[in-house]
Homo-oligomer: A and B are copies of this chain.
Amino acid sequence: MNFSSKLIEQAVNAFAMLPGIGRKTALRLVLHLIKQDKNTTESFADAIVKMRQQIKHCKDCHHLSDAEICSICADTRRDKTLIMVVETIRDVMAIEETNQYRGLYHVLGGVISPIEGVSPYDLNLTTLLKRVSPTVKADGSEAPSAVKELIMAISPTIEGDTTIYYISKQLMNKKIKVSTLSRGISFGGELEYADEMTLGRSIVGRVPYKNNP
């Protein structure tokens, strides 16, 4: 593309660097900003730079946070006996959207994948083990961890299952319940369109019918 302006070209290149934004879309965004007044562009840029400079990862659960401890971990009304183990930050947001869960989270940052070169040491596992281990008090005695259950909300793939297996092995000696999300046919989905694997597993893993679910 011929921009006849270095400034436009640099701004287009900046936008086009973002995922899913090509040079035509980038140009449309730049021309949109030119139509707005200068303050709009400045506050747009400010919000992004400020976010990038100040955003932290919660040192307990590794979720994105404005402070050292994220607002979920800091919320005293949440159930501290439950930790949901997820792959990414987006998973936390998706689960929060459901409004079905009031426990805490732990963001692994991925799953074990030898093909992609992700080993258990690349995941946030040390902090997870620390969270479920007894804390040593000042007098040397141990206080048991508040956590009673880990819910593995990991993608139902080979890598995901490997990760769940690895973590459950690490927790063998600890008195902690490990559960996974239920798997089966989707709500509102038509049986005939479910894939064979899902349908097969949902038959094997059938549950007793409850009249009042």
Contact = CB atoms under 8 A, between A and B. Distances in A.
A38 interface: yes
B52 A38 contact: yes
A7 B71 contact: no
A1 interface: yes
A201 interface: no
Nearest to A49: B45
A52 B41 contact: yes
A19 interface: yes
Interface stretch (A8-16, A153-161, A163-171, A177-185): A8-16
A207 interface: no
Contacts of A96: 2, 4
- What is the total number of copies of this protein in its complex? 2
A54 interface: yes
Given A14-B48, A44-B17, A53-B38, A90 B31 contact: yes
A156 to B, nearest CB: 23
Contact of A2 (B1, B2, B11, B93): B93
Nearest to A89: B31
B5 A47 contact: no
Given A2-B97, A38-B53, 16 more contacts: A2-B96, A4-B92, A5-B70, A5-B71, A11-B47, A13-B47, A14-B48, A15-B48, A17-B44, A20-B25, A20-B28, A31-B89, A33-B52, A41-B52, A44-B48, A45-B45
Interface of A: 1-8, 10-11, 13-15, 17-21, 25, 27-34, 38, 40-55, 63-66, 70-72, 89-90, 92-93, 96-97
